[in-house]
Copies of this chain bind each other. A is one copy, B any other.
């Protein structure tokens, strides 16, 4: 690979001039610009970004750490982040922690080592990763899920209100024994949605905690069905678990919404093609990503500003699974 010195020699100028041309400095003679560009083309020269990053001691990379790349909720959010990033001259490096705190810590360490310009994270609950990030000089934005014990810029939906709406909707439809399937303790969305569920209920709550995956939802539903007094409805705290719960109900031949009502948090892709179609609490996913990216841009510009928290509304989408 040719270096900037090869180009300089070929063009008969100094390396400094090549650098100026390549970085769009105004103060270069047009003749030299032409000579440099010709040399660049002839040699097939590509600036070495690693060297540039070292010299400038900054990069144009954002680490986006999400907890499940297989969840369409996150990929839609990433789209929002990417669009802003591109517009602002950053590239997005996507890191999939897979709901594994250890992996999350590894990615956080890598983001710091690689001197990334910023981090957007949807925490899978690692306190250590959160601590490392907060103590580091790197700008951080939490999206979807709050950072454990962290005071950083945050964008999320009103999880509690969304959950309450879901449960009230089930109550209004006449369901009485409403259970809740939620995610791991310490993950903010799991805890807040659970709180909203509890708040809306006057009867004693029935809670199953599992992971946020499809299989988790399936198993939780199976457990509820085989309990001595099964619920007549269930509020499920994310989309993948909702799909798992639906699959379980279908396999057991339980009539939805007749024998069992269901509302899930997060939109389910192709919900309208699924039978019975699930009632959901939808989030402005793309917007969530966009706002997070905006906050990161601001934070990079003014690192000392006070952390902001943006809460967007979630919206009930009534479908078949809750209307008996």
Contact = CB atoms under 8 A, between A and B. Distances in A.
A49 B270 contact: no
A53 interface: yes
A12 interface: no
Nearest to A63: B93
Q: How many copies does the complex hold?
A: 2
Given A47-B113, A82-B96, 19 more contacts: A1-B137, A46-B109, A46-B112, A48-B113, A49-B110, A50-B59, A50-B115, A54-B54, A69-B75, A70-B72, A70-B75, A75-B75, A91-B107, A91-B110, A93-B93, A93-B94, A94-B96, A250-B273, A273-B274
Interface residues of A, number: 44
Interface in A51-106: 51, 53-54, 59, 69-70, 72, 75-76, 78-79, 82, 91-96
A255 interface: no
B273 A243 contact: yes
- In the complex, which of the residues A44, A54, A273 has the most CB atoms of chain B within 10 Å of its own CB atom? A273
Contacts of A96: 78-79, 82, 92, 94
A243 B95 CA distance: 28
Contact of A54 (B51, B59, B109, B250): B51
18 contacts: A1-B137, A48-B113, A48-B115, A49-B110, A49-B113, A49-B114, A50-B115, A51-B54, A69-B94, A70-B72, A75-B75, A79-B96, A93-B93, A94-B94, A94-B95, A243-B270, A247-B272, A269-B269
Nearest to A76: B70
Interface of A: 1, 44, 46-51, 53-54, 59, 69-70, 72, 75-76, 78-79, 82, 91-96, 107, 109-110, 112-115, 135, 137, 243, 246-247, 250, 269-270, 272-275
Contacts of A93: 93-94
Contacts of A247: 270, 272-273
Given A50-B115, A113-B48, A69 B59 contact: no
Nearest to A96: B82
Contact of A113 (B46, B137, B272, B275): B46
Nearest to A83: B98
A115 B270 contact: no
